[in-house]
Amino acid sequence: MKRMLLTLALGLAATSPAMAQAPYPARAITLVVPFAAGGTTDIVARLMADHMGRTLGQSVVVENVAGAGGTTGATRVAKATPDGYTLLMGNLGTQAASVGLYPKLAYDPRTDFEPVMNSASTPMLVVAKKDLPVKDFREFVAYLKANAEKLNYGSGGVGSTSHLTCLFLDSLLGTKPQHVPFRGSGPALNALLGGQVDYVCDQTVAIVPSVQAKEGKGLVVAVKNRLSVIPDVPTSAEQGLPQFQATGWNAMFAPKGTPKEIVDRLNAAARAALKDEPTRRRFLELGAELPDEAGQTPAALGELVRSEIDKWVPVIRNAGVTAQ
């Protein structure tokens, strides 16, 4: 009789709410942005987090962990417990360029993360400070070639998307202005608006409002077609440099080993965010390009990471740029 009662008691304990595994998510989720607040990756993360939190029924809290071109925050997530409660909003810099820039990189973007979803692609835009003595991109190119040693550009850090785009432009023009790295594109933009740097090559999401307000000179967009949100800014092809094509991206990742059912839940919540009309409209107002259905899968993001590493690492190494 005692044995029967003990067995019954154990069975009840095992199935009690206290002992049963809570459904995911049971508490707030941390979404690490590996840059300072105010930049493109931060803006994308906050737009996604707001809607995803409502879908998941738990807060998605953005935490800015800046440093080392975004690799400090990315490393933290790569080494986090794979339980779905610590995520990364990574980008071209943290998930591709870092492989070429950091010989002792503490993570491998291809194997140390579970891809969740590509949130937004962002055309690149060259913007000069208001008092730079140029009227358009053609004049800017001539001025840069004649004064490269006197000019500087700001970026979100060594290996950031903004740094890579300016580096790409330098390679096309044969120029070497001074690079001024910041702990995110937000501080770099503030430096531009304050006149501390001469120009930036940044993603549309962060910088379009400043161009619309005429706080900086929008010189060129590095894509094939003009953007409806800044229709007066010409394309690189229109300005005589068609090979200057660059698009950034910002995507969500979980630590390697995160259960598939959790990754799928996060992916579904991220998809819902991009289907939400106010969220979608805000992205488009900022000049972002949203992935189609096929581009919203974890597999598509994994392939994007691999292809971007194959594309950018040779460029970085040929330029002789390192961060360590």
> pLDDT tens digits for 243-260?
999 999 999 999 999 999
Which residue do the tokens 């809607």 mark? Answer: 51
Query: What's the pLDDT score for residue 141?
Result: 98
* 185 and 263, same domain (yes or no): no
Last residue within a domain, chosen from 177, 206, 221: 221
Is residue 226 a part of any domain in this protein?
A: no
For the cut 60, the answer to whether the pLDDT of residue 6 exceeds it is no
Region 210-239: mean pLDDT is 96
pLDDT band for 321, please (50, 70, 90 cuts). Answer: confident
Last residue within a domain, chosen from 166, 186, 221: 221
**pTM: predicted TM-score of the whole model, two decimal places:** 0.84
For the cut 70, the answer to whether the pLDDT of residue 128 exceeds it is yes
Is residue 66 a part of any domain in this protein?
A: yes
Domain of residue 151: give its range: 123-221
Q: Which residue has the higher pLDDT, 11 or 26?
A: 26
Query: What's the pLDDT score for residue 311?
Result: 87
Percent of the chain whose predicted confidence (pLDDT) is above 90: 83
Which residue do the tokens 């092809």 mark? Answer: 237
Please list, in sequence order, all residues whose beta carbon lies within 8 angstroms of the beta carbon of residue 40, skipping any fewer than 6 positions away: 91, 122, 161, 185, 202, 203, 204, 205, 206, 248, 250
Is residue 230 a part of any domain in this protein?
A: no
Give the chain's mean pLDDT.
92
Is residue 12 a part of any domain in this protein?
A: no
> pLDDT tens digits for 22-37?
799 999 999 999 999 9
* 65 and 114, same domain (yes or no): yes
* 54 and 111, same domain (yes or no): yes
For the cut 90, the answer to whether the pLDDT of residue 316 exceeds it is no
Q: Which residue has the higher pLDDT, 156 or 83?
A: 83
Query: What's the pLDDT score for residue 324?
Result: 62
If one counts the domains in the chain, the total is 2
